[in-house]
Structure 1
């Protein structure tokens, strides 16, 4: 992925200078991160509960440093800033063509734990988007987890993760997230999971849409880049994570979609570059 030299976003908030990497007074290792991530994404277990058990209990203690821009020379921060800038360019164009104005999200870099409008965000959750403050939260150690634990290496795999979370921001702006949230608590857990799957697959499709338009604009993809994103989608499918953790697959517990579904919808967005093609909610088959 030829990303160096492209515009970097100014919408990056660096909170890594303050407490870094400690939750509840104890360090959290990559193994714990993976277990909590699987528990959250596959079984619907609150990651705060998982972390509490694995780290000895107690409430998380969040130490936050002052918000600032990433330092010069931080290559990984420059990479995510460049990817974020590309999502800003793509979605601004898409919204403008639809007669609307795009409001870009902030991307917060943190270590360990950080306060958000959705509660305390923790590294073990993996990257996440908070609709309450319209910010994407990322502990970049997750990229190491992707490479070492989840079998999903590659810079474009990392870019796919950022674009997926920005896809959730787009859903918030379009009102999709609010519509789904309004149904929570009024339907069964199984139906809630099914709605969550459609929401997540749409975010995958939006990530593919971003890849389509960013390649047209910048011609920055190299051989193997799209395959690395597809591999990442495969490795974080609910069935794959369930099989790794328990040896069994429970489709009724899916919250993000199977590996095949995640690949299909990312590919759909990449192939078409169309928002309309990402309508997972009216798709008869996922």
Structure 2
């Protein structure tokens, strides 16, 4: 990716190296990734296994720990902050064209475990968005795991991960995410709730594609091979692939994020269209 023209976003809070209240030394990234895979394979939110279900439900628990705010100093964190800056530019422009105002999210960098306004969470859940405080939580070790464990290396693969979480923020700002969360709470069965989750996640993938379209059209950020990196990343975190890695079998009723093919399809749909109106996963078969 070509990000030299971008300054790192200042909407970053760095909590790496901070002691997690009541969390001891935390879990290693290898351990938490394994627990996360097991959770997705069984149709169980990994946050349940690690005592942090509220992070996707929005419990209203208030944030009590804060880190250093402002652009980070190290290379990997600066890259993440620059990607966040591109999303700020793109979504500010997109919202303005619709007569809306885009509220920029804060990206919290952490290591191992973190305390969010939605609850305590481990790196096992991967990067996540908390609608209560409108913050994106990211353990940068996930980028290494994405490359080595999941076979999706490259800077654009990492950028896709951030853009996906920003996609959830966009859902929140336009009022879709609260409705989806309420529908999950009202679901009659776990299968129905999982299906709603899949639609939400695929929409975020599509919105990540919309970001990539405009970031490249306006700022020429893409280099040869970047789109392939994004597609590999989307496929790497498909439910079917994660289930095979964890248990050797695939159970579609337990999908919470969508299959590899679905995730690639919706990411590419957003990338080609560049229009968030093309990201409606709530009608028909996603």
The worse-fitting range, judged by mean Cα deviation, of 214-223 and 164-173 is 214-223
| Correspondence list, 1:105-254, <5 A | 105-187=105-187, 188-254=189-255
Measure the CA separation in 2 of the matches of 1:42 and 1:196. Answer: 15
| Correspondence list, 1:261-276, <5 A | 261-276=262-277
Contact 1:40–1:125, Cα closer than 8 Å, also in 2:
no
Say if 1:71 and 1:183 are closer, same or farther in 2 by CA, change over 3 A: closer
The aligned counterpart of 2:35 is 36
Task: Specify the SS of the correspondent of 1:102.
Answer: coil
Task: Specify the SS of the correspondent of 1:181.
Answer: helix
Measure the CA separation in 2 of the matches of 1:47 and 1:233. Answer: 19
Task: Specify the SS of the correspondent of 2:210.
Answer: helix
The aligned counterpart of 1:45 is 44
Measure the CA separation in 2 of the matches of 1:27 and 1:17. Answer: 11
Say if 1:17 and 1:247 are closer, same or farther in 2 by CA, change over 3 A: closer
Measure the CA separation in 2 of the matches of 1:49 and 1:182. Answer: 18
The answer to whether the aligner puts 1:14 opposite 2:14 as a matched pair is yes
Contact 1:19–1:63, Cα closer than 8 Å, also in 2:
no
Say if 1:44 and 1:133 are closer, same or farther in 2 by CA, change over 3 A: farther
Task: Specify the SS of the correspondent of 1:221.
Answer: coil
Measure the CA separation in 1 of the matches of 2:132 and 2:65. Answer: 19
The aligned counterpart of 1:285 is 285
User: Shift in Å at residue 24 of structure 1?
Assistant: 3.9
Contact 1:32–1:51, Cα closer than 8 Å, also in 2:
no
1:149-192: CA deviation from partner (whole Å, max 9, x where unpaired): 11111100000000000000000011111111122232211111
Say if 1:247 and 1:191 are closer, same or farther in 2 by CA, change over 3 A: same
Measure the CA separation in 2 of the matches of 1:278 and 1:71. Answer: 33
Say if 1:195 and 1:169 are closer, same or farther in 2 by CA, change over 3 A: same
User: Shift in Å at residue 34 of structure 1?
Assistant: 1.8
Say if 1:63 and 1:98 are closer, same or farther in 2 by CA, change over 3 A: closer
CA RMSD of aligned residues (A): 2.0
Task: Specify the SS of the correspondent of 2:69.
Answer: coil
5+ long unaligned stretches in structure 2: 52-62
User: Shift in Å at residue 243 of structure 1?
Assistant: 1.0
Task: Specify the SS of the correspondent of 1:121.
Answer: strand
5+ long unaligned stretches in structure 1: 53-61
The worse-fitting range, judged by mean Cα deviation, of 25-34 and 231-240 is 25-34
Measure the CA separation in 1 of the matches of 2:71 and 2:142. Answer: 18
